[in-house]
Amino acid sequence: MIIVFRGLPGVGKTYLARRLLQRRPDFLILSRDSLRTSIITRPTFSEEEKSFIDDLIVTMARWLLEQGRSVVIDGMALSSARRLEDFAAAATSQRKGIRIIECVCSESTALARLRADAGAHPAGDRSEGLYRRVKERFEETELPYLRVDTDGDAEENMQAILGYIENPPA
């Protein structure tokens, strides 16, 4: 199974992905942020660089599914519906499911989180400007997904995520 966390910068995707891994240590996380810093000495955060890393993550996810692993995708806004479809195709090619968790919160919360993380987050391009650019291009998906509001209770969100992973709506 592929579990995808998507949403604008600062909405809590990484926080929830890490909490999920505490509950489900059998899942393996693939993070654009971690992969970028491990293979690119001086990241530019260009669209070309992001696309290259995203392509690698899709390929890695497909291979890990072939090995029988479940994968959590983090560190990507996944504002593009096409990129979500790439992950869905990877899951389908291995006869596995995909669960998309769309994280949302108020703009004031997201921007406060971005300011608090300034310089400490592996995604070195996180800023209010990035938030606004991603928000402008964020596309709705026709794929089924669970929306969680990270302004709400973290434990309730985690219970909803676990329920969605185990028992998605038909």
Q: Which residue, 33, 30, 4, 45, is CA-closest to 129? A: 45
Mean pLDDT on 123-130: 76
Mean pLDDT of 13-19: 94
Average pLDDT, the chain: 90
User: Whole domain around residue 161: which residue ranges?
Assistant: 2-166
pLDDT > 70: percent of the chain: 95
Question: Greater confidence, 4 or 80?
Answer: 4
What pLDDT does 36 receive? 84
* Number of structural domains found in the chain: 1
Does residue 125 contact residue 37 with C-beta atoms inside 8 Å?
Answer: no
- Residue 76: its pLDDT value, please? 79
Lowest mean pLDDT, pick from 23-37, 69-83, 116-130? 116-130
Q: How far apart are CA 106 and CA 145, in angstroms?
A: 19
What is the arithmetic mean of pLDDT over 119-123? 62
Q: How far is CA 165 from CA 70, 148, 168, in A?
A: 11, 13, 6
Confidence class of residue 122 from pLDDT cuts 50, 70 and 90? low
The pLDDT of residue 120 is above 70 = no
- What are the CA-CA distances from residue 167 to residues 28, 92, 96, 99, 162 (Å)? 20, 18, 14, 10, 8
Q: Is residue 3 over pLDDT 90?
A: yes
Question: pLDDT of 32-75, one tens digit each?
Answer: 878 888 888 888 878 898 889 889 999 999 999 999 999 999 87
Q: What is the pLDDT of residue 8?
A: 94
* Percentage with pLDDT > 90 across the chain: 68
CATH number at residue 115: 3.40.50.300
